[in-house]
Amino acid sequence: MSQARGLMLNMATVDPAHEDEFNRWYHDEHLPDVLKRFPQITRVRRYRASDGAEPRYLVVYEYDVASEEELNALMSAEHPMRQELWKLYDEAVGGYAQRSRRAFWQVYPEAESE
């Protein structure tokens, strides 16, 4: 396996009244579903803002992909699995959680040769 060079950062603002429900759903349902649909993900970490500011939650997904183009294709709003995940997110927690996301490609250090 090559070195993971792609990242997707997801940020979420959650109504505090639903925070426990959101975290349960995210850990027990959403993350396993994401990992099943995207085998290119090699690592997932979740964080909560320590200063209490919004967005309060950050998820870092590491992707093992060959190119920036492949990463962008997986992140595309046109990707059918991405659309399915958004629909499930909106149905489960969309009434009290808003999300945003960005993809990043590692530029330093450069990937090691295999």
Find residue 104's DSSP bridge partners: 7
Q: What is the pLDDT of residues 46-103, one digit of tens each?
A: 999 999 899 999 999 999 999 999 999 999 999 999 999 999 999 999 999 999 999 9
Indicate the SS3 state at residue 35.
Answer: helix
Amino acid at 5: R
Number of helices and strands (H, E) in the chain?
Answer: 4, 4
Question: Worst-scoring range by mean pLDDT, 25-29, 40-44, 108-112?
Answer: 108-112
Helix (H, G, I), strand (E, B) or coil at 24: helix
Question: What is the pLDDT at residue 110?
Answer: 78
What H or E segment, with its residue span, contains residue 63? strand 57-63
Do residues 71 and 6 touch, judged by C-beta distance below 8 A? yes
The residue among 71, 18, 7, 91 whose CA lies nearest residue 43 is 7
